[in-house]
Amino acid sequence: MIVIFTSVSKMVLMEKKLIIFDLDGTLIDTVKDLNKATNFALKKHHYPTLSVERTTNDIGNGVAKLIERSVPVGTSKEEYLEILNEFKEYYCEHYFESSLPYEGVKDTLVELKKRGYKLAVVSNKFNEGANRLVTKYFPDIFEHIQGLEDRFSPKPSSDMVNFVLAKLGNNATETLYVGDTNIDYETAKNSNVDIVLVSYGYRTKEYLQKNIKNPHIIDHMWELLDILR
């Protein structure tokens, strides 16, 4: 369902009990470390390295798709898998070199938790990476952190959102999803949950407004506190 924030829809949001957050580009700026890991693996195979801007545009569908978009056209499946594994090995050792939470995110999460909301993360980042990043920067805040595992299809599939809803005992109507890309919007739509998009992540406000019908966009995470007041 598309949310148009009239006074009526604000009343609906006041009834939310669970807030699910995307990770990369929403809670934490991870693109520089993802770019370093991508370029490390590409260099090993004597392929051209990529700019941070290129990696930013390729983010959103998980690391397998990121590497698929990063390798040259015509790369064999075997070599692609080698590059993907080398990316993961490097990234697992360098999670925290440049990745940091966005301004105001932690304070907003703490306040939302104080207000009694359940908080969760659903990310296309592989599960180990998602859990390590979130627990480092936001310890004891989230009820559940769900990264991509073999048993789930990646977003925009509703698999992970539906799993979190069942695990935490909430339904779609009392859930709000917060993300930064059209992939997050499609995930929320497929899961029948309301969504707010942030403009500071990996898609610009102009891109979101052009590619999504009537998106509700916030420029800072703390604006959630007003929406949910």
Q: Which residues are known catalytic residues? A: 22
Cα angle 178-138-184, degrees, rounded to a multiple of 5: 20
SS3 label, residue 76: coil
Contact 55, 34 (CB under 8 A): yes
- Strands, E assignment, 3-134: 18-21, 28-29, 100-101, 118-126
Beta-bridge mates of residue 148: 126
Cα angle 37-94-36, degrees, rounded to a multiple of 5: 25
